[in-house]
Structures are given as structure tokens and as C-alpha cells.
Amino acid sequence: MDECPRDAWGQPRDWSSSRKSRTGPSLASVLNDLPSAATLRYRGPGVLPWGAHEDEDGGRSLQAFAETAQMESHSPRELPWPMQARREYRRTQAREQVASGSESKAAHWSRQLSRTKGKMKEGFQTIQPWAWTLKKIGGQFGAGTESYFSLLRFLLFLNLVASVIEVCMKLIPAWAGGPPPGPPGPNISSPCGSYTPNTQGLVSFPTQLFNLLSGEGYLEWSPLFYGFYPPRSDLAVTYLCSVFVIGLIYLLFILHRSVSGLKETLLAESEVLTSYSHRVFSAWNFGLCGAAHVRLRQHIILHDLQVELEEAMVRRRAAEQTLGQRAKVWSLRAVLNLLILALLAAAFYGIFWATGFTVTLQETSVVQQTPILKLLVDYLPSIFISVFNFVLPLVFNFITSLEGYTRSRQIVLMLLRTVFLRLASLVLLLLSLWNQITCGGNKEAEGCKACGYNYRELPCWETRLGQEMYKLVIFDLLMSLLVILLVQFPRKILCGLCPGALGRLAGTLEFQVPDEVLGLIYAQTVVWVGSFFCPLLPLINTAKFLILFCLKKMTLFSIYSPASGTFRASAANFFFPLVLLLGLAISAVPVLYSIFLIPPSKLCGPFQGKRSIWVHIPQSIESLPQTTQNFLYFLGTQAFAVPLLILSCILMTYTIALANSYGRLISELKRQIETEAKNKVFLAQRAVALSSVNGAI
């Protein structure tokens, strides 16, 4: 009973009194001989040596920490101090500054600015709309589904900003100089024909409804479309400048989001932060308050671990494959990719045929006399595009699941294939419209020789192009509503009411993130193409995205179940803005081509009578003072472009050199981490050896 109890290593608890009689190296000497001791000595005199005891009040050690900043050349933030030492150092510095009054005004204002910036950032994060909703979605359905709603909120914000700019730079200037003139009468004609945009006389309610869906009738000569805006000099300048202002804002916001997503992707794909120990020991937030927040954080960590385990299992199976099995997998992937190319070719041919056949059907008397047939014919290209966009992604999803990739790689492949389908179908529609407007690019053709465009079929081709984009936006919204009401809700009810074979056949609904995200990017690309020809289209798209957010959130919690396969949020945070940038680049081509190369309509719009839309900018510059003209013309000369190019090259070289130096520093830190790990193994082995020797003695 008098025997001293032993600790986990098997030695008595009064080992401090008996260790003086031992022989051999002590633990402190072993630790001081390690290579990592240099890292500890880097911390300065504030770190106590191995085996030394701190004072009971800790005053001496804290004072030593506070003196380190004066002896080291590094900033206190760069030194690996404990939090208690940092607080003591800040208190000491504050007392010294108050006592001496030596703090400069620049340092004071710099500190105040830093605090204000931090508070503004916290306040902005607090007032972000739907922040709690996104956290709840991420905790219950994973980070991939949360990334879709985050992208939807981001696009909603972009469209709201664009709507404000459109109203300020187009709609207000159109009314500032007086009420815009009415539409041209049926008796007014010119060498480029006549243009009668509105329906004369009373029309029935079905016709009004069809006009609302197609953008014709009373909507054709309204602020919604290009032809409504009068040919005024100041309005033409603001109208054209708004396109470049909005495009620049779009580009800056998307680049900022993609760069932040790239940082997360590089960290997530590296070998440093993908270990399970990081998820288990470093992912918890100890500042959480409330059971709901705790449960959400638990679910988020659970989804992250699930992603790690699933991808590790796929990589392990791929590493265990033999050469024959790998050849079989690559052969299967080649066959499946050929099948995907065949499906894409069939879809593109169907869209091109529908667009050309629409023009033929619109000229028939039966279609012109029947409003329903006319509406169906007008929407024929949109119907074909929407059907292919609805059916083929489901086929792509099934094919991608057979290729044996990880879930994150499957998401990337689905994004690439689906975006190619959606954006290429939009490009085909624009090419068919370009063929109608420019007579196939032949300016000497009979319909385009007089005015430079097909004035007989399209007297105001800008409004016609805006109507096509308007119909795509409206039809996309209607398709989303119909799918929710007629497909998803009945399927969920059937699955709940029929628990047997029929219920299993219906299956549970899972939120398909790639298809939903590509739907957003496709809709946004349509808006980017049509905003020049339909100025209020961003405002319509804002209302559409707001409706979609509410509907998708409601259906997500009431219809969908958590996905069986998860993927990294970093893949979504990087690839989604990247595909969005691709859509922005594609949409810029037809808009810039229309501005610089196609002659504007002679009977509508703010650029009537000009050789091109862009020619109004040089004419406006000539009306400015001579000094301003010389400065603007200097910006377009080689004397400005060459030094700018040289400066850009210097900055790029500096950035690359800085990135390389950071890369070498990161590699050195990784090697240091490996050394620390080896030291821990060595310490454990020595501790076991010393305990066994002491036990034997």
C-alpha cells in the first residue's frame, strides 16, 4: 500500500527525486541536440530552455517575450508567441505610448484605419442576405449544394448592379431630354423600308398574353427594347458607354471571385490540408453558440470527411489496377467520349435546323392568322434548346458515372461537357440570326445592298435580337417552374406514397449541382448577349433569379435528399467562376461585332443614320476641348502602348519572381514540418528506451 503509484510510462511519480541518482543523458540534453532546437531558438530569449521551470506568476517569461520584439528584426505578428505573451506585449506597448506620448499620427491613423476596415468587413459579412440559409444548406446537403446557392446570390447581386447602371445611363437620359417620340407610322417610309412595331387597334386578351411572352406588340416599342430610345447625341454616348462600364464591373467581380476560389483550390488540392487530422483537430470553431450552429458545424465536418474518404477509396482502387484493367478503363472512356460527341453533334444540328425552319414557317398564312401557332413557331428554337439542355445533361451524368473518376473530377467533366452544350447551342442560335441579319455575310445581296443589313425581313434588327434573348430568358423561367410543378413534386409524392417497387423506381431526388449551375451560367450568358439590345433584361433577370432562389430553397428542403456522392467545395469555388468567365467572353463577341461591324438600323434606336454604332464615339470626342482630344488620342498611340507593355512585363516578371521565392519558402517549411515529425518519432523512441532502462535499474 505504501508503494508509490506509477504513471503511464511505468515509473514512480516521485521520479523527480530519484532522477538525480541516474546516470546517462537527460531528456533536456536530448532535446537540445535535436535539429529543431534551432527553430525554437529563433523565437528569441522569450522561450525558456528545455527543463527550466517558469515562475508561478509567469511574469518573467512574459517579460522575456515582450523583450523579444526589441531584439529581433521581425514584427511581433511574425513571431510564434503564445496568445498570453501577445496580450502582455500589446499592454506594455500601450502603457509606454501613453507614458511617453511618442506615437506618431501616421501610426495612430493607420491603426484606426485597420480597425475600421476589420469592423466594416465583419459588418458586411453580417448583413449579407441569406447567410444563415447558406450555412443551413451547407450543413444539411454539403458544400457543393451550398456553392450553387452562393453562386446564385452572387449573380443576383451582379444583375442588381447592372440594372441600376442601365436605368441611370439609358432609361433616365432617354426621358431627361423630353418624352421619347412615338413609333414611326405606317405611312413613313425610307430607302430602307418601313417599320411599324406596334399592333394597331384593339387586341384580344390572348393576343396581349402572347405579346407579353414574345416581346412583340405593345412591348416592341417600349423601354424594354433598343428601338424605343430616340436618336439623341448624349443618349447615344451614355447608351454605348454603359455597355463597357457594365462589362468591366462584371469582369472585375468575377475575377475577384475566381482568384479567391483558386486560393482555396490550391490549398485543398495540396497535401498539407487534406489529412484527416486537419479535419478532426483544426476544423472545429470553439466560438459557436447555440445547438443549431453546433449541429451545422458537425454536419459540415462530416461532409468534408466523407469527401476525403470517397476520393481516397477511388484513388486506392485506381492504384491497385493492373495494366490490362487500366487499358480496359481507357478504352471504355474513349468509347463514351465518342458517344458524347455524337449526341452533341445531333443536338447542334437540331437547333440549327429549328432556327432556319422557323423563318419558313413564319411566312405561312396559317401561322400568321393563328396566335397559338405563331407563338409556338416563335419559340421553336428556344424549345429545342431547352429540351436538349434538359435531356442531355442527364445522359452526361450517367455516362460520367461509368468512367471511374472521383466525384470532384466528375463534377469538372460534367461542367465542361454541359457548358459546351449550352453555350454552343446559344452560339448556333446567334449564328443563324447573324445569317438572317447580314444575308449570310454577303453585303452585295439584294436584301442587304441598300442599307448593309436585311431591312426587308428585319427593319429593326437590334430589337429582333433583343426579342430572341428575351424569349430565351422567359422560356427558361417557365421551364424551371414547369419542371418543379410537373416533375419534381409528383415524383416526390409518388416516392412517398408508394414505398414498394414503384416507389423504388421513382427513387429519391438528389440535387444535381453541375446541371443547376450550368443553367445559371447559361441564363446569365443570354442576359449578357441581350442587355445591349434589351436594356431592361438585367432587371428581368434579377427578378427571375430572386424567384429561382426562393423556389430552389423551398424544393431543396421539401423534395431533395442529401446527395449520396459529395465533392469538394474548392472545385466549385474555382470552376464555377471560370466557366462564368468563359460565358462572359463568348457573350462579348456578338455584342462587339454588332457595335463595330454591323450598320445600325435606319428606322429605330439612338444610332440612326450612322455607318456603325462605334462611329459615334469619335464624333463625340471631336466636340471636346483640344487638350482632352490630344490626351484621348495619345492613349491610342504607340507612345503610350509601348511603355505600358514594358511596365506590364516588368510587373509580371517581379510577380513571377516573388511567387517563386514564396514557393521555395513553402518547400522549406514543408521540409521543416517533416523534420519535426521525425523528431517526434525519435523522441518517442528515446522516451520508451529511457523508461525501459530505468525500469530495469
What pLDDT does 326 receive?
77
Q: Residues 388, 350: contact at Cβ < 8 Å?
A: yes
Q: What average pLDDT does range 367-386 have in this prediction? A: 73
What pLDDT does 631 receive?
85
Q: Residues 639, 496: contact at Cβ < 8 Å?
A: no
When mean pLDDT is compared across 80-94, 260-274, 316-330, 672-686, the lowest value belongs to 260-274
Cβ-count burial of 373 within 10 angstroms (0-12 exposed, 13-18 middle, 19+ buried)? Answer: middle
Count CA within 13 A, CB hemisphere, residue 603: 26
What pLDDT does 138 receive?
75
Most confident of 197-201, 237-241, 396-400, 575-579: 237-241
| CA-wise closest residue to 414 among 511, 515, 265 | 515
Q: Which residues contact 629 (CB under 8 A, 6 or more apart)?
A: 621, 622
Residue 658 confidence class, pLDDT cut points 50, 70, 90: confident
Q: What average pLDDT does range 362-388 have in this prediction? A: 73
Output the pTM of the full model: 0.70
DSSP track, 2-69:
-SPPB-TTSSBTTHHHHGGG--S--HHHHHHTSTTHHHHHTT-TTSPPTT----SS-HHHHHHHHHHH
User: H/E element holding 360?
Assistant: helix 323-362
What pLDDT does 577 receive?
82
When mean pLDDT is compared across 416-430, 445-459, 494-508, 613-627, the lowest value belongs to 494-508
| CA-wise closest residue to 210 among 471, 538, 384, 468 | 471
Task: Give a three-class secondary structure readout of 393-459.
Answer: HHHHHHHHHCCCCCHHHHHHHHHHHHHHHHHHHHHHHHHHHHHHHCCCCCCCCCCCCCCCCCCCCCC
C-alpha cell at 534: 434589351
- Bigger pLDDT: 288 vs 272: 288
Task: With a cut of 60, say whether residue 5 has pLDDT above it.
Answer: no
Give CA–CA dist 630/635, Å, rounded.
9
What pLDDT does 540 receive?
93
What pLDDT does 505 receive?
55
Q: What average pLDDT does range 216-221 have in this prediction? A: 81
What pLDDT does 650 receive?
93
Task: With a cut of 80, say whether residue 606 has pLDDT above it.
Answer: yes
Residue 156 confidence class, pLDDT cut points 50, 70, 90: very high
Q: What average pLDDT does range 162-186 have in this prediction? A: 83
What pLDDT does 498 receive?
67
Task: With a cut of 90, say whether residue 164 has pLDDT above it.
Answer: yes
What pLDDT does 51 receive?
46
What pLDDT does 79 receive?
62
Task: With a cut of 50, say whether residue 205 has pLDDT above it.
Answer: yes
C-alpha cell at 388: 436538349
What pLDDT does 485 receive?
83
Residue 158 confidence class, pLDDT cut points 50, 70, 90: very high
Residue 366 confidence class, pLDDT cut points 50, 70, 90: confident
Percentage of the chain beyond pLDDT 70 is 72
pLDDT tens-digit profile of 519-570? 888 889 999 999 999 999 999 999 999 999 988 888 888 877 765 555 555 5
| CA-wise closest residue to 257 among 658, 489, 574 | 574
What pLDDT does 544 receive?
92
What pLDDT does 294 receive?
73
Task: With a cut of 60, say whether residue 22 has pLDDT above it.
Answer: no
Task: With a cut of 90, say whether residue 211 has pLDDT above it.
Answer: no
- Bigger pLDDT: 602 vs 321: 602
Residue 289 confidence class, pLDDT cut points 50, 70, 90: low
Task: With a cut of 70, say whether residue 268 has pLDDT above it.
Answer: no
Single-letter code of the amino acid located at 407: R
| CA-wise closest residue to 395 among 339, 465, 438 | 339
Most confident of 57-61, 408-412, 502-506, 588-592: 588-592
- Return the SS3 of 510: strand
- Bigger pLDDT: 448 vs 264: 448
> Mean pLDDT score of the chain, rounded to an integer?
75
What pLDDT does 613 receive?
87
pLDDT tens-digit profile of 578-596? 888 888 888 898 899 888 8
Task: With a cut of 90, say whether residue 162 has pLDDT above it.
Answer: yes
Q: What average pLDDT does range 121-126 have in this prediction? A: 67
